[in-house]
Amino acid sequence: GMELITAQRLVEGTEDALRKCSRGFGGVKRAADKFVLWANEKLGEKECDLVVSPSLTPRRIRKKKKMPGESAEDEILTAEKGYEVSVHNVILDTVTDKIQSRFSSNAKLCADFAYLDPRHFSSVKANGLPDMALEEVSKCLLKFDSGATGTSLRAELCSLASQWDRLKMAPTEAYTVRTTTEDSEGEDSEEEGETQNVDLENKSCSSCKACA
């Protein structure tokens, strides 16, 4: 599956792209105009009486009564400008704010989780961990375990990464297989499907007193 840190970076890239185009209503308007032309052409080919309007319906402007002494007039917006301000900008601002609050604010936590991926253990083993690594994870764990400080978590992860090559070994790698009966040259082979007898012998690990 996708790495958590990669997904986080994609979310941040999406947020940046949306913020850059959040006030780019001109591009949206041009795309809408092209769609209107295309739609009307298709409707004309079908001899349909429907027509897509190329412009927004003007909004009725309510005039507020002036209070004594007031002289300022409210700015009168065109239908297009009103749509840009009250719909387009509001939607994009809402989307970017939600992305920021739900995802981007957790960037450090995602980075901490990425270090827990065994695919990064070789880097941890070679380079160690930054001083601020796993601090966000620690904040989540301290309410359950007072000993789960950032320092202790970093030490444990570095220890795990240094031993990972041995820990990830499959159980079969601890054995050697030797057949007890071998077909000699010129002898008839055993019947197809018959299982050969095998002896399993522990392979020396060279790391404890019993095997050293």
Sign of the CA dihedral running 28, 33, 39, 42: negative
Residue 44 forms part of a structural domain: yes
Domain match, 88 and 125 both:
no
The whole-number average pLDDT for the span 141-164 is 90
Residue 93 forms part of a structural domain: yes
Domain match, 122 and 100 both:
no
- Weakest mean pLDDT among 3-7, 10-14, 18-22, 147-151: 3-7
Domain match, 87 and 125 both:
no
Residue 70 forms part of a structural domain: no
- Weakest mean pLDDT among 65-74, 152-161, 179-188: 179-188
Residue 142 forms part of a structural domain: yes
Domain match, 124 and 204 both:
yes
Tell me what percent of the residues of the chain surpass a pLDDT of 90.
Answer: 14
Range ranked top by mean pLDDT from 30-39, 50-59, 192-201? 30-39
Residue 192 forms part of a structural domain: no
What residue numbers bound the domain in which 120 lies? 116-178+200-212
Domain match, 124 and 101 both:
no
The whole-number average pLDDT for the span 137-159 is 90
CB-based contact 157:129 (threshold 8 Å): yes
pLDDT given for residue 81 in this prediction: 87
Residue 72 forms part of a structural domain: no
The whole-number average pLDDT for the span 101-105 is 79
Give the total number of structural domains in the chain. 2
Q: pLDDT category, 5, cuts 50, 70, 90? A: confident
Domain match, 43 and 96 both:
yes
Q: pLDDT category, 182, cuts 50, 70, 90? A: very low
Domain match, 136 and 155 both:
yes
Domain match, 16 and 98 both:
yes
Beta bridge partners of 176: 201
- Report d(CA 27, CA 20) in Å as an integer: 12
The whole-number average pLDDT for the span 59-67 is 64
Domain match, 146 and 173 both:
yes
Average pLDDT, rounded, for the chain: 77
The whole-number average pLDDT for the span 86-101 is 90
pTM greater than 0.75 (yes/no):
no
Domain match, 132 and 162 both:
yes
